[in-house]
Amino acid sequence: MSAPEFQNRSDAGQALARALEHLRRQHPLILGLPRGGVPVAWEIARALDTDLDVLVVRKLGVPWQPEFAFGAIGEGGVTLVDYEACAATGIDDRDVQAVLQHERIELSRRVDMFRGSQPLMDVRDREVIVVDDGIATGSTMLAAVGVLRNLGAHSITVAVPVASQSAMKRIAPHVDEFICLQTPEPFYAVGNHYENFGQESDEHVRNLLAGFGTIPVSIPSTGILGQEIYLPGSLTLPTNLKGIVIFAHGSGSSRLSARNIHVARILNRAGVGTLLFDLLSDREALDRQNVFDIDLLASRLESAVDYIRSNEQWSNWPIGLFGASTGAAAALVTASRRREQVSAVVSRGGRPDLAGTSLPLVEAPTLLIIGGEDHAVIELNELASHQMRCSHEIKIVPGATHLFEEPGTLDQAALMARDWFVSHLPLHLVHLGINIDSARNYSYGT
């Protein structure tokens, strides 16, 4: 018997990434099937510098022959049942409902395990590459493809290191592209093609999906009454760090803002570190005047910039600012005061007009993201943009209101922010005298 083609799943993922290089410009979404597909997908996403997520699907197997699938379920409430297969195997509606109930519970458990409260990244109108460590029969992969079709993926590529020829023939007609490095015949088992094919742990999969270490931090600042206070936060550093973005939440919000956490997660996947922290202490937040005190909020952001710069491990990395609502004004005021230290700014549903006379002093490239239905804020952003002398753009998310609550709109805004920071933060590395190729090798232990 010949030696295994792959040392382990990481080795297989690197080899597969080379075969997928032609898709780089499409910025595809890479989806790994847990558990074994995620380490392979992680290597592909890293090599193509694109998004990574996990796709949790469950085959609906015939109770007395589980390997034979009569359908599948997936995230987003997708349920696919092949009633012809049910009739052929003698499954009645009661059997179908029993299997559905069991598999929905298991699907929910696995989603919670691998993703927590975060939703699947929006696949609508995206080029999607779905990845596993190998395919024997193809039933699970067909289930994944069916789910992605129902969720509106623009195109679907299946990419695996090894597959049986029979599985390839089953799957290929249902996808836009099927990429497989090895299709041996006869085919015995996926594991035979790996030197090391140990079972992946749930913890390892979660760490790969996160791809970063998160550190609880306390930002030292000066309180309203003059004494020093410590503002709680969390600093998240991806392994392929490109820079660090400090978030400024809006009025009535905090470091626990679900929207900002969602945006931060998408930035993290692209190699952008994030710092989310409370701009006010609990006592200060009780006074509503403080929530709208832009100068005070900007001073807290300056404290966060100082916090990053004071730690030699992170001090040379470029810093970006992401502001929502009133936090956007605070971010722009901070950028005007720390022109040499702030590399890029993004505002989501922000009030840049509240930055006032600071606007002409901002030098960092700035992106203003606004919901298409947030008409009053669109007008305020346009007025503010006329006062800005820095490179800046306004981008509208169609159908979105002020809080980007409509399905898919927050993802659109997050992807706009990601692209802005990924484009502008590495440029500032040159200004800081950091070699970009060396910087990409930076790693942070989890």
Dump strand ranges (E) for 239-284: 243-248, 272-277
Q: What is the pLDDT of residues 192-229, one digit of tens each?
A: 999 889 888 887 787 777 654 567 788 999 888 778 89
Q: What CATH fold (topology level) applies to the domain 212-439?
A: Rossmann fold (3.40.50)
Is 429 or 8 the better-scoring residue by pLDDT?
Answer: 8
DSSP bridge partners of 371:
397
C-alpha–C-alpha distance, residues 358 and 345, integer Å: 14
Contacts of 176 (CB under 8 A, 6+ apart): 155, 156, 157
C-alpha–C-alpha distance, residues 437 and 416, integer Å: 24
Q: What is the pLDDT of residues 24-46, one digit of tens each?
A: 888 898 999 998 999 999 889 87
CA distances to 216, 334, 368, 373 from 383, in Å: 38, 20, 12, 17
C-alpha–C-alpha distance, residues 162 and 183, integer Å: 6
Determine how many CB atoms are found less than 10 A away from the CB of residue 31: 29
**Average pLDDT value over all residues in the chain:** 88
**pTM > 0.75:** no
394: tokens are 């306004």
Residue 121: predicted pLDDT: 81
C-alpha–C-alpha distance, residues 123 and 145, integer Å: 12
Termini Cα distance of the chain: 38
Average pLDDT over residues 357-367: 97
Burial class of 313 by CB neighbour count within 10 A (0 to 12, 13 to 18, 19+): exposed
* pLDDT band, very low/low/confident/very high, at 399 (cuts 50, 70, 90): very high
- CATH class of residue range 9-208: alpha beta
C-alpha–C-alpha distance, residues 280 and 284, integer Å: 6
Q: Has residue 293 got a pLDDT over 80?
A: yes
Please state which of the ranges 4-18, 228-242, 292-306, 325-339 shows the lowest mean pLDDT: 228-242
Determine how many CB atoms are found less than 10 A away from the CB of residue 341: 18
Contact 333, 355 (CB under 8 A): yes
Count, residues in the chain: 446
Residue 231: predicted pLDDT: 92
Q: What share of the chain is helix, strand, coil (3-state, %, to 5)?
A: 45, 25, 30
Residue 429: predicted pLDDT: 54
Q: Are strands 342-348 and 366-371 parallel, antiparallel or unpaired?
A: parallel
Q: Phi/psi at 274 (nearest 5 deg)?
A: -140, 145
| CA neighbor of 9 nearest in space, from 38, 52, 47, 50 | 38
| CA neighbor of 347 nearest in space, from 397, 381, 298 | 381
Residues of the chain with CATH 3.40.50.2020: 9-208
Written as one letter, the residue type at 347 is: S
